[in-house]
Structure 1
Amino acid sequence: MNHFFGKSFLKENDFSAKELTYLIDFAIHLKDLKKQNIPHQYLAGKNIALLFEKASTRTRSAFTVAATDLGAHPEFLGKNDIQFGNKESVADTAIVLGSMFDGIEFRGFSQETVTELAANSGVPVWNGLTDDWHPTQMIADFMTLKEHFGKLSGLTLTYVGDGRNNMANSLLMTGAILGVNIHIGAPKSLQPTKEIQEMAENAANVSGASLLITDDVNEAVKNADALYTDVWVSMGEEVDYGERIKLLLPYQINNELLMKTGKKNTIVLHCLPAFHDKKTSIGKKLTDQYNLEALEITDDVFKSDNSVVFQEAANRMHAIKAIMAATLGHPFIPEESVL
């Protein structure tokens, strides 16, 4: 029996540890099938709407290739094609799209929008990112950890930087559900909300995960199996860059910080894009202006043997494929995950 069929994938805490583990294992399995050129068209004849209020390289590419591999037809609708709350309400748009498409991906600002889409469309809706959560990224991230370490339970992942954004929220919540220890190193003003911390603590009480939220970066990275960071200013966020950089520079992932984990084989993750050098116009402008070589992660660490950022990025496609196939297809799903 497929517990996922017809379900939307909006945020991590809608799912149990068993369900999230299944999706991670299923993604690893689908990755293997693709490598062996074994067809897996679980969504043959389906049509998928890809709604993008926020631009994206990885999410759009991953959903497009994943849908095509599964035998579905993806249709991209950018911010000029959808009129959420502008000329048409979200509910009205959802009803219309649900009558034509078999599944809907949404990437944008408000979690409310993706929730309303799911409530009114009558088809599975997948959250490709909102300001609050980034659940498809989580399946890829924890898949990458499992591929690397052969297990998840008992690992320690430390996230450093802006601890109030969707990535910090999602990592904290997912780790808490799966029994992965999550440490967040962030200034007091940029730590997860009390509400999110409480939700994560409740999940950690069940899984046995240990959670630590601190402004002491040395304490945060101690014994970490994985270090994770994200850009210091989120898309659409209005802040004083100079102030934010000054605040977060102590949380930069560099060689010195990597050494402080006390482990030789600590891996480094980043959801990308990353300002690790001056080869982007925004990165160059900011690093020149503040006399830096890089922002949230240094180039040498980004390109080091510890870094798995490109494996992680490639895994977005396999993770999204697993989510779509499980919620919209009829793959054989054993009661116990045996992959």
Structure 2
Amino acid sequence: MNRRGPRRNHTPLEDTVDHRPVRHLISIDDLDDADLHALVARGAAFSAGTAGRPAPLAGDVVGIYFSKTSTRTRTAFSSGSLRLGAQLISYGPDDLQLNTGESSEDTGRVMSGMLDVLVARTAGDPAEMRSWAAQDRMAVINAMSADEHPTQALTDLTTLQRRFGRIEGLRVLYLGEGNNTASALALALTRFPGVTLELRTPPGYGLAAAFRERAAEQAARSGATFHERHDMLDVPADQDVVYTTRWQTTGTTKPDPNWRQVFAPFQVTTALWEASPKAVFMHDLPAHRGDEVTAEVLDGPASIAFVQAENKMHSAMAVLEWCRRGPVPAGEHLP
């Protein structure tokens, strides 16, 4: 966690700069347990309408830079910023001089002198965002990189907190590719005692080794249970949540022309509810009915996927507030 320290060689202009601590969110691993719990609780409070009507970003300017497509995340952070009192500058994939050869480091240095927060989706190496975060003036938020989607995981935990009133002890079955959503979910859920997270991923499309090892380490520390298998045999019963994501992750392609045959057994159908009749269905969206999930499930009574999507805005508000003001103690409102 980066916090703004004393400056040297101040100019008169710099003396007018806001010196509140700045916090970056590039990975779930950037959060300690207290911050993770606080962000989930605050997102749930925004969702429930009990967070008050603070304007902690009043006077701030938030940059929204998406080099890849987005419906939910871009809208969530844009709407959330406005609701918290900020003003917006939006950049499309062709708007920055990165396209003409300016270094990532120079881009971050320039933007940090003009923005208070930068929300970015690159679907590339998170090292680029790390370079932007190598300063103490502008908060940087990862709205999805190639390996991790941390704000999606916070949305998911906010949704679970709202639905069940807790995260501890929940049983979650994830089906599909071990993509950036799965990576972030694994890093987040394994922090909570008693959680059981079972990943069923197609052969050759599992969780990256670094995330798998980190999730296993965290589970051992917290008292959670974490497993990954590459088949659909002996799927556990009595799950609280069945979760999937689209088979073709945004901004990626699969080299195997027969990949759909490998993924087919991992489709979410109503048959899963025979063993887990009380489970809710979650999906980070967009969904492709008939691929990763049937329409009967996505549009059925067990689905909370669209509630989950709405919670992306509430969770985004919690993240923005945390980056600029720090955690808000439970039951307290910001002025």
TM-score w.r.t. length of structure 2: 0.88
Corresponding residue SS for 2:133 = helix
- Determine the C-alpha separation between the residues in 2 that align with 1:212 and 1:330: 33
Question: Deviation per CA, 1:46-87, whole angstroms, max 9, x where unpaired?
Answer: 000111111101111101110000000111111111233642
Instruction: Measure how far apart 1:243 and its partner are.
Output: 1.3
Question: Which letter maps to 2:39?
Answer: L
- Determine the C-alpha separation between the residues in 2 that align with 1:221 and 1:190: 20
Count residues with an aligned counterpart. 312
- Determine the C-alpha separation between the residues in 2 that align with 1:178 and 1:19: 13
- Determine the C-alpha separation between the residues in 1 that align with 2:97 and 2:136: 15
1:48/1:102 contact within 8 Å kept: yes
Question: Which letter maps to 1:263?
Answer: S
2:174/2:244 contact within 8 Å kept: yes
Question: Deviation per CA, 1:171-220, whole angstroms, max 9, x where unpaired?
Answer: 11111122332111012311112222111111111111100101232434
- Determine the C-alpha separation between the residues in 1 that align with 2:53 and 2:252: 42
**Equivalent in the alignment of 2:12:** none
- Determine the C-alpha separation between the residues in 2 that align with 1:319 and 1:242: 37
**Equivalent in the alignment of 2:32:** 16
2:150/2:184 contact within 8 Å kept: yes
- Determine the C-alpha separation between the residues in 1 that align with 2:119 and 2:197: 28
1:106/1:126 contact within 8 Å kept: yes
Task: Indicate the structure with greater helix content.
Answer: 1
- Determine the C-alpha separation between the residues in 1 that align with 2:26 and 2:222: 21
Question: Which letter maps to 1:158?
Answer: L
Match of 1:238 among 221, 245, 253: 253
Match of 1:192 among 207, 221, 225: 207
Corresponding residue SS for 2:143 = strand
Question: Which letter maps to 1:18?
Answer: A
The answer as to 2:128 corresponding to 1:110 is no
The answer as to 2:317 corresponding to 1:303 is no
2:62/2:81 contact within 8 Å kept: yes
Question: Which letter maps to 1:170?
Answer: A
- Determine the C-alpha separation between the residues in 1 that align with 2:73 and 2:182: 18
Structure 2's unaligned 5+ residue stretches are 4-19
- Which deviates further from its counterpart, 308-317 or 230-239? 230-239
Go from structure 1 to structure 2 and tell me whether the alpha carbon gap of 1:121 and 1:97 turns closer, same or farther (over 3 Å shift).
farther
Match of 2:324 among 308, 315, 328: 328
Question: Deviation per CA, 1:66-125, whole angstroms, max 9, x where unpaired?
Answer: 000000011111111123364211110001110001111110122111111111473110
Instruction: Measure how far apart 1:242 and its partner are.
Output: 5.1
**Equivalent in the alignment of 1:126:** 141
User: Equivalences for 1:256-335 in 2 at 5 Å?
Assistant: 256-259=271-274, 262-276=275-289, 294-329=290-325, 333-334=328-329
Corresponding residue SS for 1:188 = coil
Go from structure 1 to structure 2 and tell me whether the alpha carbon gap of 1:143 and 1:136 turns closer, same or farther (over 3 Å shift).
same
Go from structure 1 to structure 2 and tell me whether the alpha carbon gap of 1:30 and 1:5 turns closer, same or farther (over 3 Å shift).
farther
User: Equivalences for 1:107-186 in 2 at 5 Å?
Assistant: 107-108=121-122, 109-120=124-135, 122-163=137-178, 165-179=179-193, 180-186=195-201
Question: Deviation per CA, 1:121-176, whole angstroms, max 9, x where unpaired?
Answer: 7311001000111111111101111111111111111111112x101111111111
- Which deviates further from its counterpart, 38-47 or 69-78? 38-47
- Which deviates further from its counterpart, 127-136 or 172-181? 172-181
Instruction: Measure how far apart 1:5 and its partner are.
Output: 4.2
1:160/1:217 contact within 8 Å kept: no
Structure 1's unaligned 5+ residue stretches are 277-293
**Equivalent in the alignment of 1:252:** 267
Match of 2:92 among 78, 81, 84: 78
- Percent identity over the alignment is 27
Question: Deviation per CA, 1:279-314, whole angstroms, max 9, x where unpaired?
Answer: xxxxxxxxxxxxxxx100000100111100000000
Go from structure 1 to structure 2 and tell me whether the alpha carbon gap of 1:216 and 1:338 turns closer, same or farther (over 3 Å shift).
farther
